[in-house]
Chains A and B, each alone.
Chain A
Amino acid sequence: MDYFDRFAVPHPSPAIYASMVAIGLTVIAIFAGLTYFKKWGYLWREWLTTVDHKRIGIMYLISALLMLFRGGADAIMMRAQLAAPENTLLDAQHYNEIFTTHGIVMIIFMAMPFIMAFMNFVVPLQIGARDVAFPRLNALSFWLFFMGAMLLNISFVVGGSPDAGWTSYFPLASNEFSESVGTNYYMFALQISGLGTLMTGINMITTILKMRAPGMTLMKMPMFTWSSLVANIIIVFAFPVLTVALLMGTMDRLFATNFFTTANGGMDMLWANFFWVWGHPEVYILILPAFGIYSEIISTFSRRNLYGYKSMVGSMVIISLLSFLVWTHHFFTMGQGALTNSIFSITTMAIAVPTGVKIFNWLFTLWKGKIVITTPMLYSLLFIPIFTIGGVTGVMLGMSAADYQYHNTMFLVAHFHMVIIPGVVFGMLAGLHYYWPKMFGFKLNDKIGKVEAWVISMSTLLAFMPMFFSGLDGQARRMYTYSESTGFGIYNMISMVGAVGLAIGFCLIVYNVYYSTRYASRDVGSDPWNARTLEWATHSPVPEYNFAMTPQVNSLEPFWDAKKRGHELFTGYYEKIHMPNNSGVPFILGCIFFAWGFSFIFGMWIPAIVTTIGIFACMAYRSFENDHGRYISVNEIQKTETSRGA
């Protein structure tokens, strides 16, 4: 292969050329627009260099929504290809690339930043802190995630996308069977964004352990903060496993080592094990913060405190431990013997118990509550039954003997979509509507919101329920077509309808954002939902220092107590507030990491060395920099507070 051939699109098609043109035009439009409106300075000062947890949260949010549409486009293409038997919309290779990038984008670059968005935005507010423990590191985390996402997203126009599945099993993912640079993209995109995630994990744990407002003991933390704490602990223990697996996979591909090969002692199953030792905890990293958001919303809109706080915390801790003990259930059929399979079957089914405890706690919160149905609440109420279908089928899959029938069929695909969509996606959308007024100072339209929730949830059922049946009938996952005689056609056609419905639902969200930005009332106050926790005790949108005075906490629901029981949340007087300075280093370092990854992906060793030196240079710069931050004066605080009507 000629050197430059590697950069070419592996299987050119009009669609890919069209996307190249579209990407080019969008980039030009963005540059032209920024120049024309003289917004470069604004972009740099307010966003690219920001270290404010709220702005970083909003950037995560925007990225997540963009990636939702990128992954959604993949999904529509897959469903269109499968909608009819022997369809020729996509060829096998193209289909492989699309299901691979769909999985990676949705899990790593949509769901992860979505939870990061809320963890960043909400956690410091919920615990009454000024920012996270390490604001700069936080910015670096974001830029690493973002650059990882960009790397993966350029793959389909520069050199080809990964095509070995989001699980990237070896030996399929080796050079021998995946010749294009696609899998190199996989390795580096995940490695770079994974580093960012690990740093977030460390940052959030430290924040939660060290920076809580006076009086907020661990058992007085709001449930979302608890769920974030547990999820971040899982991150810190799970992500290094992925780091090592990716390192070994990279070495196999770039330096011809024999970790996962089938020659010279290599062991392909080692990859599968490492991948799932990270991968299973990863699904709980995603779901636990979503559970936290549901807990906040359900308690707010049932107008009562959360039922079973202690058992909620306990079940999360148990889930976090068990999540490391079940990974083998992803490959029951790959020959580890009856005893091992049985043990992992039992641990797998055991996880359903604490999950069930949480479901019942939400139900008991609703029971005797005064339920108010708003958009966030509607999403939460729809989540419970649909998620339960996913959970119950998970237990079916967990029985190793039966799994021989279900494994790698559409039944499995139905299972994980039925947990991830109602669990994580509904949770994030509920959070989006719930926290929108805190972020931007106005509510999203409730009528449109409810239509969204119904369209999305019914479409989810329509898209994924048929897969349970076609899977039991034997339709394999990741097959790009099937013959008419199998009879799968009708199931897939229904799924297609559901997929289109989901697309419509997501477009409705965009419409809602547009509509509400134009027409919604800006006069919603700081507590539009009559909520219970600290994040609602400060203004909306939140001033950069969060709280003018540090709140005093006496119970689980200090803000509720302040409203109803005369608890004094803010006592004392204003003092000057210490804030970190903005910094361009995280963004620049992120860009260098992008170039670094790109160089390795294509085996360009000189740029690889140069960028490696660049990375160290940035770190050294940061180490020698003498930056003590700045103070916001009492005067300034007073001005801000009066202008916000305090």
Chain B
Amino acid sequence: MNDVYKIISDTTMTYKQQLLSLARLAEGSEINLDLSDEYYNAKNDSVICDLNEGNAPYRPRYIIPDYSVLMNKGCDFLQLDAPTDLWEACNSLLIMYSHVPSITSFPVYLGGFDDLLEPFVTDLSDAEIEKCLRLFLLNIDRTLTDSFVHANIGPKDSRVGRIVLKLSEQMQLAIPNITLKYDEELTSDEFANLAITCMLKTAKPSFANHKMFVSEWSENYSIASCYNGLKIGGGGYTLPRLRMYELSQKAIDINDFMNNVLPKYTKIMCEFMDARVKFIVEESAFFKSNFLVTEKFLDINNFTGMFGMVGLNECVNNLLNIKDHSLGYGNNEKADEIGVEIMEKLSQLVADHKAPYCSGFNDQYRLHAQVGIDSDGREDSPGARIRVGNEPEIFEHIVHSGKFHKYFPTGIGDIFKFEETWLNTPNALLDIIKGAFKMNMRYFSGYLDSNDVVRVTGYLVKKSELYKLDSNKQSLNNVSIFGKGARDTGCALDRKVEKNVSTN
């Protein structure tokens, strides 16, 4: 069936979803990028995946505006003065959100809610703050209908932060995704416990290892989209992925993989990224005329390209000829060692490539553990994650994650599903998170087995929305359809529930 016709006649898509899909089609059809045959071969072999970014990129994939500019100065283009109270501040933000592009055309970053709004609440009662933020969150959920929309809170306790948590719990909304920047020394246990209770009930916020991000990015970092670490006032130009399982099939043995295959394809991918980045900066209008750039909400020096990868698990097991995944990566010291060696090598190869327009990042791209897309099936697990169903008990799982998270400054995370009793003991879960961050885990997500809002591979969906799609009804949320794919083909919701497991 003709692709355009397929979209137009699809009764499960909303009008806006159809419009965006049609635009994506146009973006993909026009051949503007000058790419090598080697790239096209790699793409045809499914070794490199461009995540449907298309051939005519007209904006960076992820855009992280510095909203403090809006709070302090307002915006000429949007004819907004600097806000003087909480209502004006929320209104200005909502107006601006609808003008922030991204790969999905929804803003992937909404700002640090507490940093932006706390200055306006000093003289307000909790009831008024709550009323305002309730409308603010509701507006976001119903207009920015995409679970990659992401807000930050923390690391410090705040009235705004507490009310955002309280409302998230009450309202049970999938949007926005929220991250708490957590640092044992800056975040009070009390605030962290509130966040944990909220996380168990609504699958958000997730916890970001603040110390680790600050040491790499300075204070000026954000968590956007799924769990992507990016600079505020900047973003990520592009995110293609190496599909490591398919890559491993190109090698005769481990040596060949390390010394020939991995360097060859890393180079092809880096060159592909160079072409995209140059096109976005030099050809498309974005960096020349978009108000976000001209009014300094963005600075090109804060952008980098994200070198994505999936399927480390299956790659390692294939290289070691391990057929039974329960005995491989994540459950096997040798396999984990090979995994680390691959990551060391890949990091070095990517760092050695001189990337254009990444001057704020030593002219380097940064690695990203991509969460997978529904068409990945079960060949490539997300990023460096252990296959769903083969996770060891939580303690070993975290230690394993700690070995790999450091390689992915632009994002990696693990998700843990907990049984009901943990809701009564947020302190116990906080002990685990504190330990996890000491062991160099970068990003920790959790949810309760029995929730409606669940985390699929990085983004949130409502199970009830998935059921709607099952019965061919429309879902307002743009990513429910991905969630359905991940659930049906990737078993993403079958991950292990953390009980008290014995390992004697």
Specify whether A and B are partners. no
